[in-house]
Structure 1
Amino acid sequence: MIKVAIVDDHKILTEGLQGLITDSGLATVVGVAHSAGQCRLSIGFWKPDVLLLDVGLPDISGIDFCKELKQEFPDIAILALTTHDEYSVVRQMLDNGASGYVIKNALPDEILAGIEAVAAGQTFLCHEIDLLMKRPSGKNIWLTERERELLRLVSEGLTNGEIADKIFLSPETIKGYRKNLLLKLGAKNTAVLVKMAFEQKLI
């Protein structure tokens, strides 16, 4: 039987998930944590095969926590279970080692299918996320780590010179990066760029 742990700060949801998983006969819940801190303390004892991980945790971003967990416990399959359905969030979770991504309003059968698939070493995307990832790439914006850092500094209102000092690059290089960002996001100026960055949760 598949051993599942759940990390999510919504207690009602975790109770519902526990019931769903236990009743399925497919898996058993070996532990529940409502924060990354709680999970860190217990995951070594739980030894789950699959970890259901929320992206929006109270103490750390689930995206960062996913990376941390995969480095420490590479054998645990992580299935993101979240309300976030933005391309950039899904992409970052998968890049950080998640084996699957399910949104919270997915059908119970899809959640169970996700647990089964990632436990078997497969990648699993719920129907809605699968469609999102297959959309024409014009709607999907994927930024490199450096571009995201630059975008964050631009959104803080720093000039090219100030950004250059901060990340040890020449103002000319920053100018090129900024131009690329405008092109990539299809923004006509910095104000639009910053607005899009926040709307699409790119930073």
Structure 2
Amino acid sequence: MSYLNSNIRLAIVDDHQIVIEGLKTLLTNHSEIEVVDCFISGAEFMAFLTGHEVDVVLLDVMLPDGSGIDWCKEIKIKAPNVSVLALSNHAERSFVMKMLQNGASGYLLKNVSVDDLVHAIKAAYKGEIAFSREVNEIIAKPTLNELKGPPQLTKREKQILSMIAEGKTTANMAETLFLSPLTVETHRRNLLQKFEVKNVAELIKEALQQRLL
């Protein structure tokens, strides 16, 4: 992508009109950035992408027709050359990492300064990764789970975990592993404690995130 002597064609996708108008006003004095159009849903922007040129899109993480995280992936599949900058009020590290995994070129919080916003748009246009200052701090701090590392599981606990993920009941597991139902239940409780979760759904989610399934 050539970015010399040309305007950056920017699209904005946000379901709050006041946010859209505010962004357009903030960018008025930056002639090198051209706001080509604005949209209130991911589907509207995807339709616009057919037959229109966009260099960078500011994409809200929460939209009325789905998650911006999912729309980011769809955008990168349909138009790989479009740089996606997430724009959100959500400061959770998991949101940032999921957007990056789906191909985003950066993540900005909606309290971003004008200078940081313009810098991020230009950086994304050049193929670089850009974050607002607060997001940089979020990424720099590992989560407690990352610091602790994955829980250490016994061979039996790994078997039980795998069978739980397959939807096996306690009775099924007991019969397959030649254990008493009480022993299986003990292993299940131990797994919940080791992963520091409250139920099976959270257990499976954590195990998947830590690549233990």
**Short-chain TM bin:** 0.7 to 0.9
Relative distance call for 1:70 and 1:162 in structure 2 (3 A) is: same
Q: Deviations over 1:141-177 (max 9, x none)?
A: 9xxxxxxxxxxxxxxxxxx9785249xxx969xx999
Kept in 2, the 8 Å contact 1:77–1:99? The answer is yes
Q: Are residues 1:131 and 2:140 paired?
A: no
Residues 1:25 and 1:132: Cα distance change in structure 2 (over 3 Å): same
Write the distance in 2 (CA, Å) between the matches of 1:59 and 1:95. 21
State the Cα distance separating 1:77 from its structure 2 match: 0.4
Supply the distance in 2 between the matched residues of 1:121 and 1:82 (Cα, whole angstroms). 21
Alignment-derived partner of residue 124 in structure 2: 118
Q: Is the 8 A contact 2:9 2:56 kept in 1?
A: yes
Contact 2:100/2:106 (8 A) holds in 1: yes
Aligned to 2:23: 17
Q: Provide the residue aligned with 2:166 in structure 1.
A: 164
Q: Could you tell me the percent identity over the aligned residues?
A: 36
Gaps of 5+ in 1: 142-159, 198-203
Higher helix share: 1
Gaps of 5+ in 2: 1-6, 148-161, 177-184, 207-213
Aligned partners of 2:189 and 2:131: how far apart in 1? Answer: 33
Aligned to 1:85: 91
2:43 matched to which residue of 1?
37
Aligned: 1:74 with 2:80: yes
Residues 135 and 39 from structure 1, CA distance in 2 versus in 1: closer, same or farther, beyond 3 angstroms?
Answer: same
Give the secondary structure class of the aligned counterpart of 1:46: coil
Equivalent position SS for 1:52: strand
Query: Which residue of 1 is the match for residue 106 of structure 2?
Result: 100
Structure 1 140/126 Cα, relative in aligned 2: closer, same or farther at 3 Å? farther
Structure 1 or 2, whichever has the larger Rg, is 2
Contact 1:8 1:35 in 2 (8 A): yes
Distance change in 2, residues 1:178/1:104 (3 Å): farther
- Aligned pair count reads 172
Residues 9, 136 of structure 1: alpha-carbon distance in 2 compared, 3 angstrom cutoff: same
TM-score calculated relative to the size of structure 1: 0.73
TM-score (norm 2): 0.69
Amino acid at match of 1:104: K
CA contact (8 A) 2:192 2:198 kept: no
Q: Alignment partner of 2:62: what SS?
A: coil
Q: Distance in 2 between matches of 1:164 and 1:79?
A: 37
Check if 1:54 corresponds to 2:60: yes
